[in-house]
């Protein structure tokens, strides 16, 4: 589904060049659950931004579903993000004072889904993400952190994305709640969803089936987790 070849990313500040990624290559198949792991400053977030079509590499090629997106315009990248990718971030990014259901329906409105189907899709996504139906009409700021993250996962699911990128999804949660959220990702992966998880926590990366470790912009290890 994803293949990157010799991807580099250079940031320029005045005369100073920082190489955030150095000649990285790997591929991710349909249905994989991959953790990209590394300390802060390792380049893992830069890599996620490129994989998630939020940013472009300085050099190298990126194939998404067989298309070379490294040559795409900003508009074409925006289309891929809208149609093919679900994002889950550390900070939930939910609208406060807005119901759970409404938070999940919103992307469907932007994507021009027929009105009569929106609520059903949103409900199914919330159930998939493991949220209790009794919470659907609560305001998002009345939820616990773990519940908020599950709403965020549901929101990432509504467009039926080909792949979900989760950037430090348990970063704001205690370890017990984090484990519940990881259980949701494992379940979604069992149902056939492709998941790429960005984390600096080893115990979170253990949830994935494959672990790519990155340090100083380079891959230092790419292994299969044996559970």
Domains and CATH numbers, the chain: 2-224 (3.40.50.300)
C-alpha 159: how far from chain center: 13
Separation CA 175–CA 172 (nearest Å):
9
Q: Are 18 and 10 in contact (CB under 8 A)?
A: yes
Task: Name the E strands within 31-150.
Answer: 33-37, 59-64, 67-68, 85-88
Q: What are the pLDDT digits (tens) for 125-151?
A: 999 998 999 999 999 989 999 999 999
Residue holding tokens 């293949």? Answer: 3
Residue 91: CB atoms within 10 Å: 12
- pLDDT-derived band at 35 (thresholds 50, 70, 90) equals very high
Query: Nearest-CA neighbor of 54 among 68, 36, 37, 74?
Result: 74
CA–CA gap between residue 10 and residue 155 (Å, rounded): 32
* Angle, CA 90 vertex, CA 220 and CA 9 arms, to 5°: 40
Rounded to 10 degrees, what is the CA torsion of 144, 36, 48, 195? -60
Element (H, E) at 82: helix 74-84
Give the pLDDT score at 227: 63
Written as six digits, the tokens of 100 are 């759970």
| Per-residue pLDDT tens digits for 68-107 | 998 889 899 988 988 899 999 888 889 989 999 999 999 8
Q: With a cut of 80, say whether residue 194 has pLDDT above it.
A: yes
What average pLDDT does the segment 110-118 reach? Answer: 88
Q: How far apart are CA 140 and CA 48, in angstroms?
A: 27
Q: Which two tokens stand for residue 167?
A: 């950037």
Dist. CA 57–CA 104, nearest whole Å: 31
d(CA 179, CA 173): 9
**Is residue 193 within 8 Å of residue 164, measured between CB atoms?**
yes
- Whether the predicted model's global pTM rises above the 0.85 cut: yes
Q: Token pair of 141, please?
A: 């700021």
pLDDT at 109 > cutoff 90: no
pLDDT, average across residues 13-41: 93
What is the arithmetic mean of pLDDT over 12-36?
94
């Amino acid at each position: 589904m994803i293949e990157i070849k010799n991807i580099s990313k250079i940031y320029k500040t005045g005369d100073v060049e920082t190489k955030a990624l150095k000649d990285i290559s790997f591929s991710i198949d349909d249905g994989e659950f991959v953790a990209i792991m590394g300390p802060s400053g390792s380049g893992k977030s830069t890599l996620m931004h490129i994989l998630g079509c939020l940013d472009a590499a300085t050099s190298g090629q990126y194939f998404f579903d067989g298309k070379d997106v490294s040559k795409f315009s900003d508009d074409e990248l925006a289309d891929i993000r809208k149609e093919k990718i679900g994002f889950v971030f550390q900070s939930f990014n939910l609208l406060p004072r807005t119901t759970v259901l409404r938070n999940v329906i919103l992307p469907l409105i932007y994507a021009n889904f027929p009105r009569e189907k929106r609520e059903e899709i949103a409900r199914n996504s919330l159930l998939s993400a493991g949220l209790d139906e009794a919470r659907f009409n609560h305001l998002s700021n009345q939820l616990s952190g773990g519940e908020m993250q599950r709403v965020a996962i549901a929101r990432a699911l509504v467009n039926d994305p080909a792949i979900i990128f989760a950037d430090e999804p348990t970063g704001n949660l205690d370890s017990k709640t984090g484990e519940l959220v990881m259980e949701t990702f494992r379940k979604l992966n069992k149902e056939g969803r492709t998941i790429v998880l960005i984390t600096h926590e080893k115990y979170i990366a253990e949830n994935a089936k494959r672990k790519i470790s990155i340090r100083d912009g380079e891959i230092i290890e790419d292994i299969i987790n044996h559970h």
